[in-house]
Structure 1
Amino acid sequence: MAKKLRVGVLFGGRSGEHEVSLLSAASILKAIDRRKFDVVPIGITKEGRWLAAVDATGLLEGDPSVVARDLRAGDPDATPGAKLLHEGMPTLMAPEPATSAAASAGTMKRRVADRSSAIDVVFPVLHGTFGEDGTIQGLFELAGIAYVGSGVLGSSAGMDKDVMKSLFAHAGLPIVKHIAILRSEWEASPRKAVAQIEAALKYPVFVKPANLGSSVGISKAHDRKELGPALDEAAKYDRKLVIEQGVGGSKSRARELEVGVLGNDDPKASVVGEIIPGKEFYDYEAKYLSEGSVPVIPAKITRAEAKQIREMAVAAFRACDLAGLARVDFLMEPDGKRRIYLNEVNTLPGFTQISMYPKLWEATGISYSDLITRLIELALERHEDKDRNTYSRE
């Protein structure tokens, strides 16, 4: 009988998407094929403290000091994660935050190895800062551990909306008009910053922290009165702010279309889906806290539009040098010419069973459990390819 692969599912983290990570991880732990994989849960608190598996379950049990109980989970059993974990499961003696990333990586791998069975691959379910931006990927690279998803470059480029859009533009992909300003510029001279924005863009505009996901810190400003508070909100989360001109103008809103991409050097695109927000746009509350947002899969668009969007999704994936998975988001003008704009890529999208990325692939023919397995296979494939690299002349 073949030895099971040992998979470390890493969740939590210090970002504003901590709670979303818990929901994704709980769903993965429930659905992963236990016939193929031994699973090691690894938790990181909001303070950055690494938890052994036996303690990591506390992050998934709904402890009010760590988990917001009012989050609407992807399925009814997603939050009480203690039901998902078996007693006696091997634990990972993960490190406390260290002064050196290399020291953390070495400790992480050594302590697992001391239990006579090293982790074969890590599935990071860390959305947002310190999980989706290349930082944790660098840790895995230093440790020589295979991991699901994009590498350091792809993760960091896919996280920074300003850099991402520059890569899209270089690849000739259509994007909305936007500018980026620094938090320090906004705080030092608000009037100058507002004048710069208004000279470049027309209201309404969307104001976003450059480095975050799940629509955290994003606001729609219809006029100058709303612009200042929107910039203040985004500035809580990042030093760089991205301001985008709204598609559809002030009288109508853009259609929000999404595609899943799966693969490494030969990525494939899923069917196209559409989100009809229960609010004015698909913000954090609409995604996770309130009812009313409706996913439509497949989206009600023409075959030619679907083909164009899927091709653009793969082109965006390649433009940012991504790997494994990504959800690629688009905006379509609501009427008239129905022009399509590439909005952004998400390198570690929400991963509950009702999240758009798994649902898009389910509609394309890959079940949730099989999708998890395929992502682990892609991680090992990419790690094997990387092992062919020579790092020394001797």
Structure 2
Amino acid sequence: MPHVLVIGGGQNAEHEVSLASAAAVAAALRLSGHAVRTVTIDRDGIWRADGLPATASPVESLGLALPLIADTDVIFPAVHGALGEDGALAALGALAGAKVVGSDLRAGAIGMDKWATKLVADAVGVRTARGKVIAVEDIGDAEFEGEVVVKPVSAGSSFGVSLVTEESELLEALRTAARFDRRILVEEVVRAREIDVAVLREAGGIRWAAPPLEIHTTGPFDTATKYDGSARFTVPAQLDAAQMSALKRAAIAVFDAIGCAGVARMDFFLTDDGPVLNEVNTMPGLTAASQVPRMFAVAGVEYTDLVSRMVRAALDPGR
């Protein structure tokens, strides 16, 4: 069995979520017989692992952690958000000549950037909501018509996202988003069913989509709703054959266009006119109870098998 280095934590608002994903991934890989070591990146950027001496700076701690990277067969970077999911850890692995689970630097960076994702999706014929980007320096001049969603261009777990229904709410929503990114996306509101589709690229390069999952909430699927247990999920989502085909086709098209690898989750609104892409997650939540493992479980791929498949795909990516 290959030796796997699982990295969790990170320096962003998704730190706790990443710790949970990393712990679950490490436990599952051990159950399937892998030799696993773990590293945690603290909120201040310090790399910590059993056997590493304590240091006061990120660069010193990274230097001490590099032998762990050298001694592993594959890195599993279970770090969501900036300086993780955005391709930073994939780039570190590439520079070190190590195999890395999941998407590479380019795909991670594009997937993390909601505006770039929209441009790529539109280019391959997958619809997105109309929107525009506002620089933080220009938020005082912003105007809107109708209801809009305000979100950081690059952030996850719905941090900094606001639904604006009155013009008086816009400035505060922009300021909230600006806490997470200097570029802010303002989009039209799409009122439709919220459907997630997970795509897996297996060893050898074959890609396939798991049965979609539908999200049920009484309001926006915001950060609180994602983690307080109030949202309900239906998996598989109740879809007719045409809807199922359209969603899976759109998910794989975006997955391929961005250049994703491993697992990625595509979040859609399902309208009467077909799917509208909301966003892409190239390193989605990976506890056994997270949305992606739930979808693959319905397809007969249990959690331990899923993370093992992700490791095998990193070792044998195919073309």
Length-normalised TM-score, structure 1: 0.76
Number of matched residues?
316
> Do the aligned partners of 1:209 and 1:235 also contact (CA within 8 Å) in 2?
yes
Hey, what does 1:129 align to over in structure 2? 82
Q: Deviations over 1:133-187 (max 9, x none)?
A: 111211111111111110000000000001110111111211111111111221x
Residues 1:316 and 2:269 are matched in the alignment:
no
Residues 1:97 and 2:32 are matched in the alignment:
no
- Distance in 1, matches of 2:38 and 2:65, equals 13
- Distance in 2, matches of 1:283 and 1:228, equals 19
- Distance in 2, matches of 1:93 and 1:30, equals 24
What secondary structure does 2:109 align onto? Answer: helix
In the TM superposition, residue 26 of structure 1 has moved relative to its aligned partner by 2.0
Residues 1:375 and 2:310 are matched in the alignment:
yes
Alignment map for 1:59-138 (pairs within 5 Å): 91=51, 96-98=57-59, 104=62, 108-110=65-67, 118-138=71-91
Q: Which runs of 5+ in 2 are unaligned?
A: none
Which structure has the bigger radius of gyration? 1
What secondary structure does 2:59 align onto? Answer: coil
- Distance in 1, matches of 2:52 and 2:312, equals 22
Hey, what does 2:236 align to over in structure 1? 298
In the TM superposition, residue 107 of structure 1 has moved relative to its aligned partner by 5.4
Hey, what does 2:283 align to over in structure 1? 348
Alignment map for 1:1-394 (pairs within 5 Å): 4-52=1-49, 54=50, 91=51, 96-98=57-59, 104=62, 108-110=65-67, 118-186=71-139, 190=140, 192-194=141-143, 198=144, 202-248=145-191, 254-263=192-201, 265-277=205-217, 279-288=218-227, 290-333=228-271, 337=272, 339-382=274-317
What secondary structure does 1:216 align onto? Answer: coil
> Do the aligned partners of 2:86 and 2:105 also contact (CA within 8 Å) in 1?
yes
Alignment RMSD (CA, Å): 2.0
Q: Deviations over 1:1-52 (max 9, x none)?
A: xxx3211110001011001111112222332244531110100100000001
- Distance in 2, matches of 1:366 and 1:94, equals 40
> Do the aligned partners of 1:92 and 1:111 also contact (CA within 8 Å) in 2?
no
- Distance in 2, matches of 1:111 and 1:167, equals 36
> Do the aligned partners of 1:93 and 1:111 also contact (CA within 8 Å) in 2?
no
- Distance in 2, matches of 1:377 and 1:176, equals 36
- Distance in 2, matches of 1:121 and 1:93, equals 23
In the TM superposition, residue 324 of structure 1 has moved relative to its aligned partner by 0.9
